Amino acid sequence: MKSLFLALCLALACTSLPAQSFTWQPAPRHTQIAIWPGKVPDAPPVSGPETGGLTSKPDLVAGKPWVWVGNVTRPTMTVYAPKTKSNGAAVIVFPGGGYEVLAMDLEGSEVCDWFTAQGVTCVLLKYRVPGTPSKLYPKTGAYPQSPMALEDVQRTVGLVRHRAKEWKIDPHKIGVIGFSAGGHLVAAISNHFDRRLYAPVDAADKESCRPDFAIALYPGHLSLAANTMGLNPDIASHITPQTPPTFLLQNEDDHVDRVEDSLSYYFALKKAGVPVEMHLYAHGGHAFGMRPTKFPATHWPYLVKTWLQTIGMIAE
């Protein structure tokens, strides 16, 4: 299975993923909402329009292409209402892509389609990924190297909690799920919720941005190095018993985000007394999103559903 990392490299090389002006839009029944009402904090100069496209061979997952977007400088959220009766829970989705692109369907809208079928409200976040580091963007990537993506996440969690009544959400059942770089964002918001990285904008920023549960699949940027349990100090130094209950999943043959990323985070959470469940598999690689393949790790949604039931976020 090709990884998002390989696809990303191809995208930047303008081969199988040619960069082009592209504006991602959700299905017609859903509407994107700008998360910042005015000026976006810490915004670098804009180098051009949003880019993106559809993958082709060999960058398919489960035999199908996926949509990527890049040069995202105006973050948005898209609300997906439950397809059945709402159970009160909500999950905010962070697609992966190395903090340089976003896999908007593979690790975004397809995830929302599954959760909404379970009665869970889904919010797909198109967070800022303004491209590779350059003179215009000297600080991109994971926090604290760049604050942009985490600022977008803090803002979005507050917005969802602020509008919980309107969207028929229990404000105490709002969680996050992320993939690869999005999995790192899950860990970042799970441990950086006590202080906003930006000046408050409105009443939504008075709401707590602590998730009530956290799901990280094949997360990256967590371990210090291969074959070590050393955890990224910016995460490790902020883990407390208030870090939300966490679900982790990764494959041992993931050569993009190493198994040590999940293992190091698992041990740190366990040491802090945070409820954590981890699933490791021998095979399955990286970046499979919601798409089932021959590998058992791709059936993770049913593990997540059971876990959400056991921690009381959804009914059995």
Which of 48 and 305 is assigned the larger pLDDT? 305
CATH number attached to the domain at 4-310:
3.40.50.1820
pLDDT above 80 for 173 = yes
The answer to which of 61-65, 159-163, 226-230 has the lowest mean pLDDT is: 226-230
User: Residue 232 — very low, low, confident or very high, per pLDDT cuts 50/70/90?
Assistant: very high
Kindly list the domain boundaries of the chain, sorted by start residue. 4-310
| Confidence (pLDDT) at 1 | 38
pLDDT above 90 for 255 = no
Nearest to 121 by CA among 58, 184, 170: 170
Q: What is the rounded distance in angstroms from the CA atom of residue 300 to the CA atom of residue 302? A: 5
Q: What is the mean pLDDT of the chain?
A: 89
| Confidence (pLDDT) at 8 | 46
Positive or negative: CA dihedral 193, 120, 77, 202 = negative
| Confidence (pLDDT) at 133 | 58
Give pLDDT tens digits for 80-95. Answer: 999 889 999 999 999 9
Record the pTM.
Answer: 0.91
User: Residue 4 — very low, low, confident or very high, per pLDDT cuts 50/70/90?
Assistant: very low
User: Residue 224 — very low, low, confident or very high, per pLDDT cuts 50/70/90?
Assistant: confident
Nearest to 238 by CA among 149, 150, 129, 139: 150
Instruction: Name residues whose C-beta falls within 8 Å of residue 1's C-beta, 6 or more positions apart in sequence.
Output: 61, 284, 285, 286, 287, 288, 293
Q: What is the rounded distance in angstroms from the CA atom of residue 248 to the CA atom of residue 274? A: 13
pLDDT above 80 for 9 = no
User: Residue 137 — very low, low, confident or very high, per pLDDT cuts 50/70/90?
Assistant: low
| Confidence (pLDDT) at 316 | 82
| Confidence (pLDDT) at 15 | 31
Q: What is the CA radius of gyration of the chain?
A: 18
Preceding omega of 292 cis (within 30 degrees of 0): no
Phi, psi (deg, nearest 5) at residue 5: -65, -45
Give pLDDT tens digits for 179-222. Answer: 999 999 999 999 999 999 999 999 999 999 999 999 999 999 99
- How large a percentage of the chain has pLDDT more than 90? 69
For the stretch 231-259, what's the b/e string if a residue is b when 16 or more beta carbons lie within 10 angstroms of its beta carbon? Answer: bbebbbebbeeebbbbbbbbbeebebbbb
Q: What is the average per-residue pLDDT within 45-72?
A: 82
CA distances from 282 to 2, 148, 251, 263 (A): 17, 34, 6, 14
